[in-house]
Structure 1
Amino acid sequence: MRADTAIVIRPLRLTDKEGWKHVWRNYLRFYSSIREDALYDFTFQRLADPAHSSMFGYVAEQQGQLRGLVNCIIHEHGWHQQPVIYLQDLFVDEKARGQGIGRQLIEQVYRYADDTGKASVYWLTQSNNHSAMKLYDSLAIKTDFIKYQR
């Protein structure tokens, strides 16, 4: 890959706000979800501020533009002594797909989990998200759990 098209996976920074909001808005649109504008600022602040230790994010940057994101939540778990990571959001801009960005973002979360002693990383996806599931099947074990929600 040429240097000018290289993909850089890095922690989310406070200076990424507008780019992150653009990518996250597209992610929510993909799932037909609309959220109030204040939630974008609220969520971004929690992800980008190192003082908020239970949430973090990484972005994929290419040619100065954010092309993808992963948003994570660290939480306690009754089956492990160490905390676990819930990979809540993963999205790659449609124009940037097919370059391995999603894989790189997940692998970065795995590295973080390993480096910080987290027990596991898990995530959910919609049952019809077949293209993403091809990637997930190559990186993780699919479980038989079904989500219930109130």
Structure 2
Amino acid sequence: MISIGRLTEDDRAAWENLFAGYNTFYGRTLAPELVDRAWREFRSGERMHALGARLDGELVGIVHFFTHVSTTSADVCYLQDLFTDAKARGRGAGRALIEAVAGWARARGCARVYWHTQTSNTTARRLYDQVALDKGLMQYQIPLGP
């Protein structure tokens, strides 16, 4: 049975491992100070939020999210990162994490929850196509950093 809840101090090592797996999937390695910053933000729960999925007491999935204003609706919730351990995939952790974020956002009056994924991420998209609408939007970026 999958259970969803806030991360605790005791989850730090398992969360870091899952977050590293997520970043590896997208071909990046985060600097330790960014990992530390994210953990501090999640622990304070003011600007950025995180939940974990547990299977038999073990942290097997994570989701990171935050709200932002919108010019056309009430605030919206952006689901930025979602990752489950390979051994837990197909057991409902991803779906449960998405549902938990939607419930959290609904309780705070958000108009919607949205996220991005690569078009080639067919495994995740099978789930996403079941729980959300594909609005057919493309993402453009202007990198501003070094």
TM-score of the pair, normalised by structure 1: 0.90
Secondary structure, aligned partner of 1:87: strand
Q: Is 1:54 the counterpart of 2:58 in the alignment?
A: no
TM-superposed CA distance for 1:93, in Å, is 0.3
RMSD in angstroms over aligned alpha carbons?
1.1
The residue that corresponds to 2:117 in the other structure is: 125
Q: Is 1:15 the counterpart of 2:7 in the alignment?
A: no
Deviation digits for residues 85-142 of structure 1 (CA, Å, limit 9, x no counterpart): 1000000001111101100000001111111111110000001001111100111100
Gaps of 5+ in 2: none
The residue that corresponds to 1:3 in the other structure is: none
TM-score of the pair, normalised by structure 2: 0.92
TM-superposed CA distance for 1:54, in Å, is 2.2
Amino acid in the other structure paired with 1:98: G
Asked if the contact 2:65–2:81 (Cα under 8 Å) also holds between the matched residues in 1, the reply is: yes
Gaps of 5+ in 1: 1-5
TM-superposed CA distance for 1:48, in Å, is 2.0
Q: Is 1:41 the counterpart of 2:29 in the alignment?
A: no
TM-superposed CA distance for 1:44, in Å, is 1.1
Asked if the contact 1:85–1:121 (Cα under 8 Å) also holds between the matched residues in 2, the reply is: yes
TM-superposed CA distance for 1:42, in Å, is 0.6
C-alpha separation in 1, matches of 2:113 and 2:43: 20
C-alpha separation in 1, matches of 2:3 and 2:40: 22
* Match among 69, 84, 97 for residue 76 of structure 1: 69
The residue that corresponds to 1:64 in the other structure is: 57
Q: How many residues align?
A: 142
The structure 1 segments of at least 4 consecutive aligned residues displaced by more than 3 Å after TM superposition are none
Amino acid in the other structure paired with 1:67: V
C-alpha separation in 1, matches of 2:10 and 2:111: 31
C-alpha separation in 1, matches of 2:68 and 2:47: 7
